[in-house]
Structure 1
Amino acid sequence: MTDDLPGARWFKSTRSQPNADCVEIAFGLREAGCVGVRDSKDPSGGTLVFTGEQWDRFLRSGIWRV
């Protein structure tokens, strides 16, 4: 986990409600293909960074749909 991702462009899902709990995602961190994930309500609380392969595996798993 890290909180040092200068220049990251974060975004929330267009399906997110303005005051709802959700996460923000940033692509292309540090090295091309990295993905950052953080809490939208606490953006300075730390960031999880995944490789592109790890992120793809997560999306294919369907866990995020729960």
Structure 2
Amino acid sequence: MKIRDSLSEETTKQLKRITPGSNRKKESDADPIRNREWEEIMGTRRETYQRLGGRVRRKR
């Protein structure tokens, strides 16, 4: 038996309001970060360079 079972209805309502999980945003409300944005953050969508005969050129 848990402590919540012995409490009155009014105090259980107050506990539900105070609990930390009640104030979180739902995943559907949050702004999702797309795959392309993650690549930009991590730096994988950067221009790469290659050395050709002493000069540096952009890799294709």
TM-score (norm 1): 0.24
TM-score (norm 2): 0.26
Q: Which has the higher contact order (CA 8 A, sep 6+)?
A: 1
Quick check: which one's strand share is greater? 1
Structure (1 or 2) with the larger CA radius of gyration: 2
Quick check: which one's helix share is greater? 2
